[in-house]
Chain A
Amino acid sequence: MISQLLFLLLLSTGIFFFAQRIGVIRRNIQSGRDWDGSDRKAERWATMARVALGQGKMTARPVAGVMHILIYVGFVIINIEILEILIDGLFGTHRIFSFLGPLYDFLIASFEWLALGVIVACVVFFVRRNGLALARLTSKELKGWPSLDANIILVVEVLLMFAFLSMNATDSIAQSRGLDHYVPAGTFPISSFLIPLYSGLSDAGVMAMEQGMWWFHIAGVLAFLVYVPYSKHFHIILAFPNTYFSNLNPIGQMDNMAAVKKEVDLMMDPQADPYASAPATDGPPARFGVKDAPDLTWKQLLESYTCTECGRCTSECPANQTGKLLSPRKIMMSTRDRIEEIGQSREANGGEWKPDGKSLLGDWITEEELWACTSCQACVEACPINISPMGIILDMRRSLIMEDSKSPESITTMFNNIENNGAPWAFPAGSRGDWTQEV
């Protein structure tokens, strides 16, 4: 009874902190500008099914892709086991699903194989990150917390799987000794190799070890639940809404700013009254482009929380490959760090955001990074969960030009040429058709 209460307490504490953190992130994401993703529902579900559920873009890099799918499938399937643990914990039962008989044996066996797969994949990932030190996993934006975060996740996953297998190993020892409560249930293709580790224990020792591993496993899972939304690992949840709200247009299509269209229409309209007062609008006029994180759409902020810092974008970026400062991954990380900071300050101020004189563009992301982008969309194509770092880069250029009139001199010249001659170079518009006389 005490253990059931303890379990309930542990479970509700975990869920409470998880829910609290989700609330904060939700408010942060919702502080972004409007974006309408309510259209094309069937296509959206299909995209989510293909890209997130089906891991459709992961195997573009075969080693990482296959390993990732192992962990993903392991994570999803082993959650069936978590369901049993929850019921056992709350009602004081032991292996409540064992009445399923052969099906139960099959399930337990497959969990064990998957647990082994997860361990192998995590070890490979750990080695790639720390031993082989692949360029995209050791770049400078990962120094410190991002790199530690990644390693914590890998180590915890291995520990959880080891606890799960040890729990099964000690359970099967208890079963074979005919100990109280330990009904014969499950087959243990992997954990049977761990039996020698625990077979020296007394009956009480085996039961204590089995219970200990059970508690360690579930407590670990709940701790992980609380940890995940503070971590890049949050992609395990956000990948689903993020891919649902994927850009469904051709990726070369950049949005037309509605506010600009209104002004251009007015300018082109011969009937327009130049002295008419501006129509009343709600609140101050929106800024052109993006200077700070709340100028982004909620979808872009969602993308920043979804990013798991894999760096496929950066490793495909031609600017980054040729040694420029730009790293699309860093654009996403900076965006998330900034909206986090704003969110924390807002929460501390009772929901009111007091400007702190800083901004995403300038304090986190520099002009040099933005001007290195060739808008080639390689980062968008490379992202396994359809994030667009390029969208943020181009939106920030809009702020640089339209709010601050800041551009490299040659870009200003290009603008002037287009304005004066209708071409980015200084050729007279009248000579545009001259080539037709040379065919």
Chain B
Amino acid sequence: MAHRGRFPQEAEVIGPKKYNHTMSSFHIPTMAEMTAAGKAPEVLFWVGCAGSFDDRAKRITKAIARILNAAETSFAVLGQEESCTGDPAKRAGNEFLYQMQAAQNIATLNGYGIKRIITGCPHCFNMLKNEYPELGGQYEVLHHTQFIRELIETGKLRMSGDQPFKGRRITFHDPCYLGRANGEYLAPREVISKLDAELMEMRRCKQNAMCCGAGGAQMFKEAEPGEREVNHARTDEALETQPEVIATGCPFCNTMMTDGVKNANQESNVEVKDIAELIAEAADLLETPAS
């Protein structure tokens, strides 16, 4: 099937780019830069592979970065020093590769003395939070929806007066590795509630939510023979709520649901967006570049 074993959306030239400060409205420092300047950020933004390389997922990454910047959160990324957490390798059975990745990442994180991490990928979230501690990596790990909730609650992030999503029908697809895996059903819903939108729950949600079909390394292979694609079946459940927006909290779910919406020929009626993107559109984000 066309969407299996997918390669990320690729619009840009692969290869090293010259650093061009003027292209950005604000600067996102790497840990290396920060450390060289003798500074340490409040949080590390762990971007993840999809968020770093997939064009669609990069838009989510940028939305998160803009939110952090607007809330004046002191943050940094690892940049080239970040590497796959090893989730797809481990779930596919390659424990060696996973533990090599984990050892390398833990050495990097511990080398910088990282204490608090936020990430936009529930798979990275699960690895960093649950599976790295035993290997020597102990951090406080937050999913971006948990951190955004914190920013709103502490008044660091405000919704704009326009309320672009007011009254619009939004359904939320629970990522397995945020929901069932880690019991976090509330944070994404509380953040959505700030949009003043109409949250339409799917028939199967929270503990009973159906998988998008990408987990367990499925994203990187053809589906086994069957009657249907998992993501098409799940998208149908989302479309039953007649949403204007299908909200996601995972770059892989986002890809799968987007493909499902296309398959159902609904792309002109239904948007698939990460909660970070919705908030970035609705919040009062400062346009002034950070120093």
Partners in one complex: yes
Interface of A toward B, CB cutoff 8 Å: 60, 249-254, 256-257, 260-261, 263-265, 267-268, 288-289, 316, 318-319, 321-326, 368, 371-378, 380-381, 394, 396-402, 407-408, 410-411, 413-415, 418-419, 422-425, 427-439
Instruction: Select from chain B the residue with minimum beta-carbon distance to A397.
Output: B93
Interface of B toward A, CB cutoff 8 Å: 5, 7-8, 12, 14-17, 19-21, 23-28, 30, 47, 49, 51-53, 58, 61-62, 65-66, 69, 77, 79-80, 82-84, 86, 88-97, 99-103, 107, 126, 129-131, 134-135, 176-177, 180-183, 207-208, 210-211, 213-230, 233-234
Having A288-B95, A375-B217, one finds 9 other A-B pairs with CB under 8 Å, namely: A256-B131, A260-B96, A323-B226, A374-B214, A397-B93, A413-B220, A425-B8, A431-B14, A437-B23
Q: Tell me the bound Cα distance from A377 to B210 in angstroms.
A: 10
Q: Tell me the bound Cα distance from A208 to B77 in angstroms.
A: 86
Q: Are B99 and A260 in contact (CB under 8 A)?
A: yes
With A264-B100, A374-B214: A414-B93 Cβ-Cβ less than 8 Å: no
| Inter-chain contact total with CB atoms closer than 8 Å | 245
Q: Are A410 and B222 in contact (CB under 8 A)?
A: yes
Instruction: Report the minimal beta-carbon distance from A255 to chain B, rounded to whole angstroms.
Output: 8
Q: Are B215 and A374 in contact (CB under 8 A)?
A: yes
Q: Are A324 and B180 in contact (CB under 8 A)?
A: no
Which residues of A are found within 8 Å of B19, using beta-carbon distances?
Answer: 437
Q: Tell me the bound Cα distance from A268 to B99 in angstroms.
A: 11
User: Which one of A252, A372, A429 lies within 8 Å of B224 (CB-CB)?
Assistant: A372
Instruction: Report the minimal beta-carbon distance from B57 to chain A, rounded to whole angstroms.
Output: 9
Q: Are A410 and B220 in contact (CB under 8 A)?
A: yes
Which residues of B are found within 8 Å of A436, using beta-carbon distances?
Answer: 24, 27-28, 30, 65, 77, 79
Q: Are A423 and B79 in contact (CB under 8 A)?
A: no
Which residues of A are found within 8 Å of B53, using beta-carbon distances?
Answer: 423, 425, 427, 431-432
Q: Tell me the bound Cα distance from A253 to B131 in angstroms.
A: 6
Which residues of B are found within 8 Å of A399, using beta-carbon distances?
Answer: 93
User: Which one of A268, A316, A418 lies within 8 Å of B88 (CB-CB)?
Assistant: A418
Which residues of B are found within 8 Å of A414, using beta-carbon distances?
Answer: 88-89, 92, 217, 220-221
User: Which one of B99, B180, B215, B224 lies within 8 Å of A381 (CB-CB)?
Assistant: B180
Q: Tell me the bound Cα distance from A380 to B221 in angstroms.
A: 24
Instruction: Select from chain A the residue with minimum beta-carbon distance to B91.
Output: A375
Q: Are A411 and B180 in contact (CB under 8 A)?
A: no
Which residues of A are found within 8 Å of B222, using beta-carbon distances?
Answer: 408, 410
Q: Are B225 and A324 in contact (CB under 8 A)?
A: yes
